[in-house]
Chain A
Amino acid sequence: MTAPPGKAPSDAPPTATAPEAIKAIPVRHYGRYVSAVVVIGLLLLIVKAFAEADLTWGSVGEFFFNDQIMEGVKNTLVVSVLSMLMGLVLGIVLAVMRMSKNPVTNSVAWGYIWFFRGTPVYVQLLLWFNLALIFPTLNLGPIYKDEMTDVMTPFMAALLGLGLNEAAYMAEICRAGIQSVDEGQTEASQALGMTNAQNMRRIVLPQAMRVIVPPTGNEFINLLKTSALCAVVQYEEVLRKSQNIGNTSSAVVEMLFVATLWFLVITTVFSIGQYYLERHYARGSSRQLPATPWQRARQLVFTFRRGTGAGSGAGGGAA
């Protein structure tokens, strides 16, 4: 069945030390050709539909860097980053409370997570925004007193709504990360005379990060997208800004495309950052760190120049 095509091997010199490399005719996968054609055909249909649609593609480009839109992008980034920071700090505190032996702190943390994970962010945002209806003044005793409507600006409502909700999720992620570290690690550091705080900071957390970072990156990207809901509390993030322009210029869908593209740009940038962060915390857990895209590109060029099909197996060493 696998008779070599072409010349018989007998006219090779008899000093055959290694057997001849196999040159078999590969199996043809006709199904792959068919499915590729079908998928490309469907894609072309979609492209055709959009090309023929009643859309002014020019306005997408025209408004992409519009001042109002840029303001909206900035606001989206500000509220997302700040609520993520809030979620992270509060989440770590809640995770520590949740793991403590004190039944009071433990159950308070449990209750917090239960409430904020169990209700929609949309409802939470509306609750914060309308807080002035039930508490007309914010009275913190001798420290602070003000009208609630002055305190609960759209920005504050957005920040509290997103940040407090995020904290509940981050708490669970941090707890899972810390608990994923082998108990032997803590025993070893205790046996060396480290205190609990030193053990947490130097031994447990750096290892927990490997488990914490990937879902946290996902959380952040989710949060970026969820921030579009802040339009409901009058917060001028990129979607609301786009809709403002869309409603006045009758380029409704075009402006939605602008918002869509901006979200794609932001999430792509942060995904790349996440890749490098994960790589950093993978130190010591795998024998060879995965190559960065840059290293892979260089390696590819290098293999082409040498003209050997070395494949993409070996990665570039540690940076």
Chain B
Amino acid sequence: MNAMVKAEAVHKSFGPVEVLKGIDLEVAPREVFCIVGPSGSGKSTFLRCINHLEKINAGRLYVDGTLVGYREHGNKLYELRDREVAAQRRDIGMVFQRFNLFPHMTAVENVMEAPVLVKGETKAKAQKSARALLDRVGLGEKCDSYPAQLSGGQQQRVAIARALAMEPKLMLFDEPTSALDPELVGEVLDVMRDLAQDGMTMVVVTHEMGFAREVGDSLVFMDDGVVVESGNPRDVLNNPQHERTKSFLSKVL
């Protein structure tokens, strides 16, 4: 079976600082793939490379068998145009640490914006499915609220519904619960758990080791731009092999 995400020696630098120093990994379809590691280890940067929010400097990155951000012709690489990159991103949903909801739109408008604008759905149809999606994340009552009127957990659930509205084949989560009050974390993880049970392919950068252990199918531990350790989440978290992994886990668990 084709990998949903395939990274081959992915390098990324910001100016002189090398953030990713050769990442190789594969995410299978319908898999929940967790990335953990200390801050500054490059895990968020890697996630942002998957939908080309960051350009990689070396290596290859494929989503569902297609090269991300470039076209390979002969043995030359051609940068994709703005429009072509946008088309690639339609199938990849992303959820941000800071929600990034559109503050001038209500919850339901946030969710229906992209289907109407990008996929050309009719407003009536998009609104119907947007309401259904908000219902699914438990916010059927809050459709007409503006983001400023919602709690952090509610905002993040709207953000998940917004990403799902594009019917993506892959969902990226960039520390989705890190900006939330501890008691609001659960409601967001519940939605993600449901999503995983429905068979969505998910790449999750997280500090929630409990979630990774319970829901994750694979886990990688990243540090300083490289994958230090990978495997089944329960094995890695309960029985880490590397010193670096051990010392990190002893601090967060």
* Residues in A lying within 8 Å of B, measured CB to CB: 182, 184-185, 187-196, 198, 202-203, 206-207, 281, 283-287
Please determine whether A192 and B100 come into contact, CB atoms closer than 8 angstroms. no
Which listed residue, A191, A285, A287, touches B104 by the CB 8 Å rule?
A: A285
Q: Mark B92-108, 1 if CB is under 8 A from A, else 0.
A: 11101010111111100
Please determine whether B163 and A192 come into contact, CB atoms closer than 8 angstroms. yes
Residue ID in chain B nearest A195 by CB atoms: B86
Which listed residue, B98, B100, B159, B166, touches A193 by the CB 8 Å rule?
A: B166
Rounded to whole angstroms, the CA-CA distance of A198 and B103 in the bound complex is 16
* Contact A198 to B100, CB < 8 A, known contacts A190-B86, A191-B89, A283-B146: no
Q: Is B113 an interface residue (CB 8 A)?
A: yes
**Interface size of B as a range:** 20 to 34
Please determine whether A188 and B118 come into contact, CB atoms closer than 8 angstroms. no
Rounded to whole angstroms, the CA-CA distance of A53 and B211 in the bound complex is 84
**B153 cross-chain contacts in A, Cβ below 8 A:** none
B152 to A: closest C-beta gap in Å: 14
Please determine whether A195 and B148 come into contact, CB atoms closer than 8 angstroms. no
**A285 cross-chain contacts in B, Cβ below 8 A:** 103-104, 148
* Residues in B lying within 8 Å of A, measured CB to CB: 51, 53, 82-83, 86-87, 89-90, 92-94, 96, 98, 100-106, 113-114, 117-118, 146-149, 159, 162-163, 166
Residue ID in chain B nearest A191 by CB atoms: B94
B151 to A: closest C-beta gap in Å: 12
Please give 5 more A-B residue pairs, beta carbons under 8 A apart, in addition to A184-B98, A284-B103. A187-B96, A195-B82, A207-B102, A284-B105, A284-B147
Tell me if A's interface is mostly helix, strand, loop or mixed: helix
**A207 cross-chain contacts in B, Cβ below 8 A:** 102-104
B121 to A: closest C-beta gap in Å: 13
Please determine whether B146 and A198 come into contact, CB atoms closer than 8 angstroms. no
Rounded to whole angstroms, the CA-CA distance of A185 and B99 in the bound complex is 9
Please determine whether B94 and A194 come into contact, CB atoms closer than 8 angstroms. no
Please determine whether B162 and A192 come into contact, CB atoms closer than 8 angstroms. yes
Rounded to whole angstroms, the CA-CA distance of A185 and B53 in the bound complex is 13
Interface centre among A191, A202, A283, A287, by most chain B C-beta atoms within 10 angstroms, is A191
Please determine whether A191 and B113 come into contact, CB atoms closer than 8 angstroms. no
Please determine whether B51 and A202 come into contact, CB atoms closer than 8 angstroms. no
**A190 cross-chain contacts in B, Cβ below 8 A:** 53, 86, 89
Rounded to whole angstroms, the CA-CA distance of A192 and B163 in the bound complex is 7
B149 to A: closest C-beta gap in Å: 6
Please determine whether B83 and A187 come into contact, CB atoms closer than 8 angstroms. no
A279 to B: closest C-beta gap in Å: 13
Please determine whether B104 and A192 come into contact, CB atoms closer than 8 angstroms. no
